[in-house]
Amino acid sequence: MSLEAMKDISEAEEKAKTIRAEAAADVKRMLAEAEAAGKAAVAAAEKKAAGELATLSKKADEKAVESAKTLASENGEVKDRLRAQAEANMDRAVSLIVERIVNS
C-alpha cells in the first residue's frame, strides 16, 4: 500500500471518528431538549389540571351551598305546615282529653 493511500485511510478514519463524536453530541443534545420539553409539558398539564380542579371545586361548593339553602327552605315550609296542622288539631285533642277525663 502506498504512503498516500495509508494517509487517505488515516484521514478517513479520523473524519469518521469526528462524525461519530458529533453525532453522539447531537443525540445527547436532542435527548436533553426532548426531556426538557417533556418536563415543561408535564408542568403545564399539572398547572392546567390544578386550575380546572380549583374551578370544579368552587362550582361544587357553590352548588352544595345552593342545595343546602333549598333544602333548608323546604324544611322550613314543612315545619310550618306541620306546626299549623298541630295547632289546628290542638283544640280537638284538648277536647277529647277533657271529655275522657270527665267521663271516666
Residues 12-49 have pLDDT tens digits of 999 999 999 999 999 999 999 999 999 999 999 999 99
Distance CA 78, CA 72 (A): 10
How many residues does this entry show for the chain? 104
Give residue 45's Cα distance to chain centre: 11
How high is the pLDDT of residue 42?
98
Residue 102 DSSP code: H
**Cell output for 16:** 469518521
How high is the pLDDT of residue 20?
96
**pTM exceeds 0.95:** no
- Assign residue 31 a region (left: φ > 0; alpha: ψ between -120 and 50; beta: otherwise): alpha
35, 40, 44, 50: CA torsion to nearest 10: 80
